[in-house]
Amino acid sequence: MSLSYSRIVGCGGYLPAKIVSNDELARTVDTSDEWIFSRTGIKQRHIAADGELTSDLALEASRSALAAAGIPSSAVDLIIVATTTPDVIFPSTACILQAKLGAGTGAAFDVQAVCSGFMYALATADAMMRTGAFRNALVVGAEIYSRILDWKDRSTCVLFGDGAGAMVLTRSEAPGILGSRLHADGRYRDILAVPGSVRGGEVCGSPYLTMDGNAVFKFAVKVLGEVVDETLAAHGFERSQLDWLIPHQANIRIIQATARRLGIPMQKIVVTVDRHANTSAASIPLAYDVAVRDGRIRPGQLVLMEGVGGGFTWGAVLARV
């Protein structure tokens, strides 16, 4: 029996307890529920507690995914965490998570591709599983963007939230993950960035997220449409064969514009941006987890996930679940 594919056998999500509504935000920033909801579809976001770390969010999501998969943490031999907001510069959040999970001494590392991070991490895990060198992978997207936002900048702070999502992959005879397409164009690195760095004990440049919202919006709609078609075509599928599209949850208008461009009905698209806001690398696994747990995503269905974000990066993963 050849186990030449990887398959998603469990998922989990975690959102910090504290919820901040648009109205609550409007008490400290010059904004309104009307502006935020009409421009983005966001109603609320979860915000991590002071002592909570990205690895803590990842730990909760991972425990839930492992329980759903029925796989003990000791059987995990590959951990990949997609994050732009790691606990510390190093060691990687994946190594910290491995220790917190008690997950033995398999491979563990972070992937940094901002809001496309989970697509990069899932594609990497799938490729590594297909070599036959790993049996069970834990792939996590975990972020605490509330710590890299300038809470006085209304054009960015209203858009993001904190959270983590996880998937467990196991080797399988049948697919499973069918394939992926990843892209980047570093010439657009300035339209979405945290440009600061640490040098000689000081922060040089801004440690806060900066964004050209209009440029990001246009770029996102263009490349998301392209990568959906590219990924489907590479595996011989038509758009109409998709059961679910799980897009990165940045803005409902980006999701609707992509859906219109592709002719995919909104009923086939999982949306969580209203409740989660943009949780960057966590948004896709969180949305996937919501739709599995509420019974929308069912075994045997064809699911396409797609992400876009800083770098600029974008990508998609196609899976039979």
Residues forming contacts to ligand UT7 in the complex (CB under 6 A) are 31, 35-36, 39-40, 115, 154-155, 158, 192, 211, 213-214, 216-217, 220, 250-251, 254, 278, 309
Classify residue 47 as exposed, middle or buried by CB count within 10 Å of its CB (0-12, 13-18, 19+): buried
What minimum distance in Å lies between the beta carbon of 285 and ligand UT7?
A: 15
Q: State the CB neighbour count (10 A cutoff) for residue 29.
A: 15
Beta strands in the chain (DSSP E): 5-14, 18-21, 44-47, 78-82, 107-111, 136-144, 162-172, 177-184, 192-193, 197-199, 202-204, 210-211, 244-247, 302-309, 313-320
Using alpha carbons, select from 41, 30, 124 the residue that is nearest to residue 79. Answer: 124
**Main-chain dihedrals φ then ψ at residue 56, nearest 5 degrees:** -70, -45
Closer by beta carbon to ligand UT7, 12 or else 161? 161
What is the 8-class DSSP label of residue 159? S
- Closest to ligand UT7 by CB, 4 or 210: 210
Residue 136 annotated among the catalytic residues of the structure: no
Percentages of the chain per state (helix, strand, coil), in multiples of 5: 40, 30, 35
User: Known catalytic residue: 115?
Assistant: yes
Provide the minimum distance between the beta carbon of 149 and ligand UT7 in the complex, in angstroms, as a whole number.
12
Nearest distance from C-beta of residue 217 to ligand UT7, angstroms? 4
Q: How many CB atoms lie within 10 A of CB 132?
A: 11
> CB-wise, 72 or 207, nearer to ligand UT7?
207
Q: Considering 115, 136, 157, 251, which one is annotated as catalytic? A: 115
Compute the least distance from the CB of residue 158 to ligand UT7, in Å.
4
Catalytic residue among 46, 248, 251, 276: 248
C-beta of 129 vs 220, nearer to ligand UT7: 220
Catalytic residue at 251? no
Q: What are 71's two structure tokens?
A: 């796989």
CB of 309 to ligand UT7, least distance (A): 5
Q: Where are the alpha helices (DSSP H) in 85-116?
A: 93-101
Catalytic residue positions, numbered: 115, 248, 278
